[in-house]
Amino acid sequence: MGVSIPARPYEFVLDAPHAAFLIIDMQRDFLEPGGFGDALGNEISHLRAAIAPIGTVLAAARAAGVLVIHTREGHRPDLSDLAGAKHRRGRHATRIGDAGPMGRILIRGEPGHGIIPELAPVAGEPVIDKPGKGAFYATDLELMLRARGVTQLILAGVTTEVCVHTTLREGNDRGFECLVLEDGTASYFPEFHQTALAMACAQDGIFGWVAPSAAVAAALTGGTQ
């Protein structure tokens, strides 16, 4: 039994008691004016477009009692969990751990590492701190999901082609049915966003499903769109 959601490549049957809403890295440094992403010259309005759709599904998930989990990409202040290859990559003068506009870049506890206030976690919602792009790598996410009997993941957040896609692939390989919110994910590069969504559901759902937030919110609140 479940609620059918119009999706690509075909309908997704939501089993709400066994679903979790996973919100990836909606952090101030990626999304806010004056944050690290902005300071690097990225167009943050592309990412900010995902805030309202995520908020709609978040409200519906909370009302339906669906498990909500937030993630943050970042590292320990002493950088002991930062792989050298990740630290060295890129040629920007500013790297992970350096001083940025909102504190040290991608360091836990710094203002820029926090989740934007519009989507702030509430009591009881786990927040997963992840050192990698994927939310399963070097975290207790899988243990948490299995312990609660979760079999379906609704994925949202930023960026579509990096942390969302890595988590989608990790989740798919672990046997979770994954649905990606098409308007609740975003990239600094709109063409990457579109391609990442197309890749997610290509070949009859090679990694999973893609659906609009309104359809998912409607299903969570008991109907279909």
Catalytic amino acids?
25, 130, 163
CB-wise, 25 or 110, nearer to ligand C5J? 25
Please report how close the Cβ of residue 72 comes to ligand C5J at its closest, in angstroms.
9
Q: Site residues (CB under 6 A) for ligand C5J?
A: 25, 73, 158-159, 162-163
Please report how close the Cβ of residue 14 comes to ligand C5J at its closest, in angstroms.
25
How many residues can be counted in the chain?
225
CB-wise, 5 or 186, nearer to ligand C5J? 186
Please report how close the Cβ of residue 202 comes to ligand C5J at its closest, in angstroms.
20
Please report how close the Cβ of residue 159 comes to ligand C5J at its closest, in angstroms.
4
CB-wise, 69 or 162, nearer to ligand C5J? 162
Taking the C-alpha atoms of residue 25 and residue 47, their distance in angstroms, rounded to an integer, is 11
- Chain-centre distance for alpha carbon 130: 12
Q: If DSSP states are collapsed to H, E and C, what string results for the chain? A: CCEEECCECCCEEECHHHEEEEEECCEHHHHCCCCHHHHCCCCCHHHHCCHHHHHHHHHHHHHHCCEEEEEEECECCCCCCCCHHHHHCCCCCCCCCCEEECEECCECCCHHHCECHHHCCCCCCCEEEECCCCCCCCCCHHHHHHHCCCCEEEEEEECHHHHHHHHHHHHHHCCCEEEEEEEEEECCCHHHHHHHHHHHHHHHHCCCEEECHHHHHHHHCCCCC
CB-wise, 162 or 168, nearer to ligand C5J? 162
CB-wise, 89 or 148, nearer to ligand C5J? 89
Please report how close the Cβ of residue 3 comes to ligand C5J at its closest, in angstroms.
29
- Amino acid, single-letter form, for residue 115: I
